[in-house]
Structure 1
Amino acid sequence: MVSYNRVILAGNLTRDPELRFTQSGVPVCEFGLAVNRVRSKSEEVDFFDVTAWRELGETIANYKKKGDPILVEGRLQYRTWEAQDGSKRSKVDVVADNVQFLGRGGGEGEGSGRPRRGGDDVEFSEKDFDDIPF
């Protein structure tokens, strides 16, 4: 049997990215993503929690903010934990390993928090940081 776990989502950040560090100092960025889903005459929105690690997470936290469009490629991760009240909780998150900063289609640098280069989108991947020791 072959297993495959890949997800690609394009949408807008629902909140400013939150950059934290693990106890061992590894950066981790968490943000929400809203993805519009058009169904005949109505439009619905799906919401996803996304996590990006190391330099990829730092880059997102430094350049993106609530409302900015982004494309995320990664995998789904299922986690479970025990809440403070003793109840068991579970959640499916997206763990990003590749992101692409998308433009809003407006003027130069509009909404991106950084200058845009000729309207090009900017893409980052964990692979871009393979030579950096963690």
Structure 2
Amino acid sequence: MSLNIVHLVGRTGTDPEIRYFDSGSVKCRLTLAVNRPTKKDDPPDWFELEIWGKTAEVAANYAKKGSLIGVQGSLKIDTWSDRTTGENRSKPVIRVDKLDLLGSKRDNENYNQNNDNF
């Protein structure tokens, strides 16, 4: 048996980047900052999110920088060859299956006004 499930709750670090493909597919990318519950002075952990389909459109329309969201998905590793050095590179990405918009629009606006250095 194998299991690859990731649950995260945090604030978006960027506005969503949405991309429409000729095939009709829709993909959205954004970053998520997640604070550790143990130490408040530690910097947040940052995750790159990849969202597809209707969920991607919801993210693009409603999740802005600083929005509080919850996601459920799986961890995948993107790999590529560096164009300049030819070295193999990789990075972890969360492939989101479920997106929950947490907090109200007012909460998100207040957060953005109070946290310009986010």
Return the TM-score normalized by structure 2.
0.83
Q: Which moved more, 1:69-78 or 1:20-29?
A: 20-29
Runs of 5+ consecutive residues of structure 2 not aligned to the other structure: 110-118
SS of corresponding position for 1:37: coil
In structure 2, the partner of 1:3 is 2
Query: How far apart, CA to CA, are the structure 2 residues paired with 1:40 and 1:12?
Result: 17
SS of corresponding position for 1:94: strand
Structure 2 residue 106 is matched with structure 1 residue 110: yes
User: Cα offset for 1:71?
Assistant: 0.1
In structure 2, the partner of 1:77 is 76
In structure 2, the partner of 1:45 is 44
| Higher RCO (CA-CA < 8 Å; seq separation 6+) | 2
Say which one has the larger Rg. 1
Over the aligned positions, Cα root-mean-square deviation in angstroms equals 1.8
Change in 2 beyond 3 A, CA 1:36/1:22: same
Runs of 5+ consecutive residues of structure 1 not aligned to the other structure: 114-134
Query: How far apart, CA to CA, are the structure 2 residues paired with 1:41 and 1:97?
Result: 29
Q: Which has the higher helix share?
A: 2
Aligned sequence identity (%) = 38
* One-letter code aligned to 2:49: V
| Contact 1:29–1:58 (Cα < 8 Å) also in 2 | yes
Alignment length (residue pairs) = 108
Return the TM-score normalized by structure 1.
0.74
Q: Which moved more, 1:32-41 or 1:59-68?
A: 32-41
User: Cα offset for 1:46?
Assistant: 0.2
Structure 2 residue 90 is matched with structure 1 residue 99: no
